[in-house]
Chains A and B, each alone.
Chain A
Amino acid sequence: SQQGEEDPQALSIQEGENATMNCSYKTSINNLQWYRQNSGRGLVHLILIRSNEREKHSGRLRVTLDTSKKSSSLLITASRAADTASYFCATVDTGRRALTFGSGTRLQVQP
Chain B
Amino acid sequence: EAGVAQSPRYKIIEKRQSVAFWCNPISGHATLYWYQQILGQGPKLLIQFQNNGVVDDSQLPKDRFSAERLKGVDSTLKIQPAKLEDSAVYLCASSSKKQGNIGDTQYFGPGTRLTVL
Whether B42 sits at the interface, judged by CB under 8 Å, is yes
How many of A's residues come within 8 Å of B, CB to CB? Answer: 26
Whether B56 sits at the interface, judged by CB under 8 Å, is yes
Judge whether A50 and B91 touch: CB under 8 Å. Answer: no
A contact face: mostly helix, strand, loop, or mixed: strand
Whether B87 sits at the interface, judged by CB under 8 Å, is no
Q: A30-B102, A48-B103, A102-B42 are in contact. Are A96 and B56 (CB under 8 A)?
A: yes
For the side of the interface on B, what is the size category? 20 to 34
How many whole Å from A61's CB to the nearest CB in chain B?
15
Q: Which of A33, A97, A102 makes the CB contact (< 8 A) with B55?
A: A97
A88 to B31, CA, bound (A): 21
Q: A2-B42, A42-B91, A102-B42 are in contact. Are A97 and B48 (CB under 8 A)?
A: yes
Q: Which of B45, B48, B101, B107 makes the CB contact (< 8 A) with A45?
A: B107
Whether B43 sits at the interface, judged by CB under 8 Å, is yes
Residues of A within 8 A of B42 (CB): 2, 88, 90, 101-104
Whether A99 sits at the interface, judged by CB under 8 Å, is yes
How many whole Å from B53's CB to the nearest CB in chain A?
13
Whether A92 sits at the interface, judged by CB under 8 Å, is yes
Q: A97-B48, A98-B48, A101-B43 are in contact. Are A43 and B102 (CB under 8 A)?
A: no
Q: A48-B103, A97-B102, A103-B42 are in contact. Are A43 and B108 (CB under 8 A)?
A: yes
Judge whether A31 and B102 touch: CB under 8 Å. Answer: yes
Chain B interface (Cβ < 8 Å from any Cβ of A)? 4, 31, 33, 40-45, 48, 55-56, 59, 91, 93, 100-103, 105-111, 113
List 30 A–B pairs whose Cβ atoms lie within 8 Å, in order of A's numbering.
A1-B44, A1-B59, A2-B41, A2-B42, A30-B102, A30-B103, A31-B102, A33-B105, A40-B113, A41-B110, A42-B4, A42-B110, A43-B43, A44-B108, A45-B105, A48-B105, A50-B103, A88-B42, A88-B43, A90-B42, A97-B48, A97-B55, A98-B45, A98-B56, A99-B33, A100-B45, A101-B43, A101-B44, A103-B41, A103-B42
Q: List 9 tightest A-B contacts by C-beta distance, closest first.
A: A101-B42, A42-B108, A43-B108, A98-B45, A31-B103, A42-B110, A30-B102, A45-B105, A101-B43
